[in-house]
């Protein structure tokens, strides 16, 4: 149990995918202008990272490894994640239209989110069991969501403050992301 608690704290605070591993920067910067869009992306990321971890772990251990095709891991994971997200999109549209309305526009964006691929690859590199891989995917998605919500709040506050013209838009966003990354580095010695 302690191992899972440490994994949770590590994935959320210490090794945050956006702020320390620098994965998933595009959606981090792209959907962080309004809290409503950020929360929609958070929900979609939590679902896809968690379930995608299970699917890619199964592909690696049940298909690629037995066939000696481990060298195709990256290509296989990209295809599996894209196909999985499209399948989820189709199923949600047909059977859960309300949920599809809430998450539908964010699901295609997640197909190109490198944080999802990063979790899948790290699960294999760290030789996690299926349960641990799914838990790590969930914890990493919580870390992504935490960083995105904090960053969105900061951006909304900065936009209301009317920064100098040279710092408006992407410039102040990158500076803010860098400062937020430095703040998360304060957790570095929390988990070893």
User: Across all residues in the chain, what is the average pLDDT?
Assistant: 89
Contact 88, 107 (CB under 8 A): yes
Asked if residue 191 has pLDDT above 70, the reply is no
Asked if residue 150 has pLDDT above 70, the reply is yes
Closest of 148, 109, 137, 119 to residue 46, by C-alpha: 137
Give residue 41's pLDDT.
85
Give residue 11's pLDDT.
93
Give residue 30's pLDDT.
81
In the block, tokens 């679902």 appear at 47
Q: How confident is the model at residue 116 (pLDDT cuts 50, 70, 90)?
A: very high
Asked if residue 106 has pLDDT above 80, the reply is no
pTM of the shown model: 0.89
Q: What is the mean pLDDT of residues 145-160?
A: 92
Interval 48-69: pLDDT, tens: 999 999 999 999 999 999 999 9
Give residue 192's pLDDT.
60
Interval 167-176: pLDDT, tens: 888 888 899 9
Cα–Cα distance, 140 to 7 (Å, whole number): 9
Q: Which ranges in the chain belong to alpha helices (H)?
A: 2-9, 25-30, 35-59, 73-95, 97-103, 107-111, 114-125, 130-161, 170-185
Percent of the chain surpassing pLDDT 70: 98
Sorted by sequence, the CB contacts under 8 Å of residue 171 that are 6+ apart come out as none
Asked if residue 153 has pLDDT above 90, the reply is yes
Q: How confident is the model at residue 163 (pLDDT cuts 50, 70, 90)?
A: confident
Contact 33, 152 (CB under 8 A): yes
Q: Which residue has the higher pLDDT, 104 or 125?
A: 125
Max CA pair span of the chain: 58
């Amino acid at each position: 149990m302690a191992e899972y608690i440490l994994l949770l704290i590590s994935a959320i605070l210490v090794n945050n995918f956006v702020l320390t591993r620098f994965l998933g920067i595009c959606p981090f910067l792209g959907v962080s202008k309004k809290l409503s869009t950020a929360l929609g992306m958070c929900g979609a990321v939590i679902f896809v990272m968690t379930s995608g971890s299970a699917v890619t772990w199964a592909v690696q251990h049940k298909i690629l490894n037995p066939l000696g095709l481990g060298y195709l891991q990256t290509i296989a994971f990209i295809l599996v994640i894209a196909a999985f997200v499209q399948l989820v999109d189709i199923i949600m549209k047909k059977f859960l239209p309300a949920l599809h309305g809430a998450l539908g526009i964010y699901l295609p964006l997640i197909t190109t989110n490198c944080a999802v691929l990063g979790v899948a690859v790290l699960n294999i590199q760290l030789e996690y069991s299926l349960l641990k891989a799914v838990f790590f995917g969930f914890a990493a998605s919580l870390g992504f969501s935490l960083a995105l919500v904090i960053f969105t709040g900061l951006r909304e506050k900065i936009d209301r403050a009317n920064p100098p013209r040279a710092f408006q838009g992407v410039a102040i966003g990158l500076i803010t992301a860098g400062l937020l990354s430095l703040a998360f580095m304060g957790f570095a010695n929390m988990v070893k």
